Structure formats: C-alpha cells, structure tokens
C-alpha cells in the first residue's frame, strides 16, 4: 500500500481569486495556468496497518503543527473514499519549490499527496477525479494534475462534483518560459486564503474582477491555441493587475506589492518598449513571474538580475502533469 508521485507547481495566467464555498474549496471564477517544469514535489505515501497515527516528513524533517494537520486532514478524505478510516500512513515529501521563489508549494505539494495517497490506498482515480480531490487540499493545486496549460472549471454544483481542472494544451504544445524573480521580501504576508476572503467580502472592485473573466479566458485560450505570445502576455498581465486592484478596494485595504515588485514590473514594460517581448504576473505575494520566449532568455535573465533588490532569478520551461515513480 505504497506509492510515489511527482507533481509540478503551476503559475496562473488567469487567477483564481475568491471562493464561493470555503470548506470543499469552490471558486467564484474559472482560472487557467501553465504547469512549470523547474519546481516540483515528490511524495511517497505508505499506508501501514501497524501505525496509530500519520507521520509526515518534509525534506527529511519530521513535521508537526499546521502543516501536519493539513496533511492528515487531506488523508482523511482519501481514507473516507476508500472506506478505511483507521489506516494511517507514513508520508515523505521532498520539495523542490524554494519558498523564496514565491511559489505556493501547496500546488505541487497537494497534487503529489493526492496522487500518491489515492494510488497507495487503491482508489484508482481518473485524472478528473484526482483533480477534484486535489482541489480540496488547495484550489490552485487541482490544475497541477495536468502538464502544460490547464483550466480549472469552477462548476455550478454545491457538492463540487463539476469543479475540476481540464487540459487545454500539453507542455510540448508551446515552449513559453517563465522567470521567477526573487526579491528580498520582509513583509507581513496576507495568506491567499485571507486575502481572497477579505476581497470577496469587502472589495468595492470585486464585481469588476468577475465581470472581466469570460473575456480574459476567451482571449487567453485563443492566444494559446495560435501560439500568439503578445495576446497571451497582454491578457495574463492585465488579469494579474485586475486581481491586485481588488486588494486596494478591500476593507481594510492591502497590497502584496513592495517597491521592488513595482521596479520589476516597470523593467518588464521597459523591455517591451525596447522590443523584447516579456510580460509579468504576480500571485499573492511580492515576487514577480516573467513570461518570455526562449530566444530572449539571455537578455531577459540579465535585465532582471540587474534590478536592485532582486536576489535571484529562476528559469523554467513548461512542465508535465502528475507522474508515478
């Protein structure tokens, strides 16, 4: 009753920003992401009759507290589906997602845990079922079941049965690159959970955010289909700015940006003015991700590294979906 799975993180080009149901994680809008090859988690789940509680190690360190509780709560879902409520597991995760790179390791973490856990206990899930299960650990993680571009369909039903990711185009459809720009961030973080909740509950701009989603999705999908980098980049950058605008309209207002975040955004726009096509996107934190094409890799990397306050730049290609080892 043991399985190992590897899952990559993903970067949203149309953001998931807001829940309509918190417990089983149902979003207020569809989102669309690119799975990234450079950042991943490998997890082994080993169910053993003789265990009386779960054990969780992350990068060879024994974990307790909030992270442990998240893992056991998620395994409870798997145990329940399998009708094996009293079967506990040894979970070993190795995380290749540096927290400093500003990626939520939750996406690759929950996708790998869902895949390894459901396989180890013998659930035999389809990709769609696996995405639905993964969603209940962390919303954005449901898109990491697939490689390349994936869309999380929000669904309509209250039980979440129609809320899961679907593949849009595989990793080898198009070699779009992403640079993760790491900043020296010393700032009290508003978690994505808290940020979404405050925004949905109070932001004067939230309805505007939702109104723009259908058009953004349509443009992004057309851009991906025709490998139209300008269209994809413009749509992703504008969607990111709209998401971040909602935080300024919340009560109390907040922003994830630092001065260095804005310096990177302005540098990316200056690159474009100089003929190098690059676009930015930003999640619930200060770090910036820059989209570019392979032929511009050298100049994009150098320009980003030269910005004062940038401590590292990590480059990534499109990545694969879940694999079992």
126 CA to centre of own chain = 21
Q: What is the DSSP letter of 100?
A: G
At closest approach, how far in Å is the CB of 287 from ligand PMV?
11
- Which residues of this protein are in contact with ligand PMV, per CB under 6 A? 12, 15-16, 31, 104, 106, 138-140, 192-193, 283-284
Q: How far is the CB of 142 from ligand PMV (least distance, A)?
A: 9
- 188 vs 298, which CB is nearer to ligand PMV? 188
Q: Give, as one character, the DSSP assignment of residue 78.
A: H
Best CA proximity match to 292, nearest among 179, 196, 173, 185: 179
Q: In which residue are the tokens 């979003």 written?
A: 27
Minimum CB–partner distance for residue 200 and ligand PMV (Å): 13
Closer to ligand PMV by CB, 104 or 133: give it. 104
For residues 35 and 318, the answer to whether their CB atoms sit within 8 Å is yes
d(CA 115, CA 124): 10
* SS3 label, residue 231: helix
Q: Is the CB of 15 or the CB of 132 nearer to ligand PMV? A: 15
CB of residue 290 vs ligand PMV: minimum separation in angstroms? 16
Of 87 and 176, nearer to ligand PMV (C-beta) is 176
Identity of the residue, 136 or 219, whose beta carbon is nearer to ligand PMV in the bound complex: 136
Q: Least CB distance from residue 10 to ligand PMV, whole Å? A: 7
The tokens describing 53, both together, are 């509680």
Q: Which residues share a beta bridge with 153? A: 164
User: To the nearest whole angstrom, how small is the minimum distance from the Cβ of residue 193 to ligand PMV?
Assistant: 6
The position carrying tokens 């299960």 is 133
Q: Which is nearer to ligand PMV, 128 or 191 (CB)?
A: 191
> What is 151-202 written as a DSSP string?
EEE--S-TT-TT-EEEEEE-GGG---EEEEEEE---SPPPPHHHHHHHHHHH
Angstrom distance (rounded) from CA 149 to CA 320 = 10
Smallest separation (angstroms) from ligand PMV to the CB of 15: 4
Cβ within 8 Å of residue 268, ≥6 positions away: 278, 279, 280, 288, 290
Q: How far is the CB of 31 from ligand PMV (least distance, A)?
A: 5
Closer of 237 and 283 to ligand PMV (Cβ): 283
For residues 171 and 196, which CB has a smaller minimum distance to ligand PMV in the complex? 196
From the CB of 19, what's the least distance to ligand PMV, in Å? 9
Angle at 36 between CA 39 and CA 63, to 5 degrees: 30
Q: How far apart are CA 36 and CA 210, in angstroms?
A: 26
CB of 3 or CB of 284, closer to ligand PMV: 284
Which residues have C-beta within 8 Å of that of residue 171, sequence separation ≥ 6? 35, 37, 147, 148, 317, 318, 319, 320
């Amino acid at each position: 009753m043991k399985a190992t799975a590897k899952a990559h993180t993903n970067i949203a080009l149309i953001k998931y920003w807001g829940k309509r149901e918190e417990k089983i994680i149902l979003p207020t809008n569809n989102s669309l992401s690119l799975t990234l090859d450079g950042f991943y988690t490998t997890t082994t789940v080993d169910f053993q009759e003789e265990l009386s509680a779960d054990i969780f190690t992350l990068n060879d360190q024994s974990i307790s507290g909030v992270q442990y509780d998240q893992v056991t709560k998620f395994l409870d879902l798997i145990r329940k589906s399998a009708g094996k409520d009293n079967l506990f597991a040894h979970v070993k995760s190795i995380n290749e997602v540096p927290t400093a790179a500003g990626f939520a390791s939750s996406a690759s973490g929950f996708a790998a845990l869902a895949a390894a856990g459901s396989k180890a206990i013998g659930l035999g899930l389809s990709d769609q079922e696996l995405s639905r299960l993964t969603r209940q650990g962390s919303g954005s993680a449901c898109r990491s079941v697939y490689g390349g571009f994936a869309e999380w369909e929000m669904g309509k039903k209250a039980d979440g049965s129609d809320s899961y990711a679907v593949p849009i185009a595989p990793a080898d459809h198009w070699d779009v690159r992403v640079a993760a720009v790491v900043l020296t961030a010393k700032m009290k973080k508003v978690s994505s959970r808290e940020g979404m909740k405050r925004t949905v509950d109070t932001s004067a701009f939230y309805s505007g955010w939702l109104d723009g989603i259908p058009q953004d999705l349509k443009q992004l999908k057309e851009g991906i289909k025709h490998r139209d980098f300008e269209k994809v980049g413009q749509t992703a950058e504008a969607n990111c700015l709209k998401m971040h605008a909602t935080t300024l309209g919340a009560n109390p207002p907040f922003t994830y940006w630092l001065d260095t975040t804005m310096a990177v955004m302005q540098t990316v726009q200056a690159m474009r003015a100089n003929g190098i096509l690059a676009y930015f996107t930003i999640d619930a934190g200060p770090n910036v991700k820059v989209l570019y094409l392979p032929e511009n890799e050298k100049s994009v990397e150098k320009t980003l590294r030269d910005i004062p306050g940038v401590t590292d730049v990590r480059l990534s290609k499109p990545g694969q979906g879940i694999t079992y080892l």
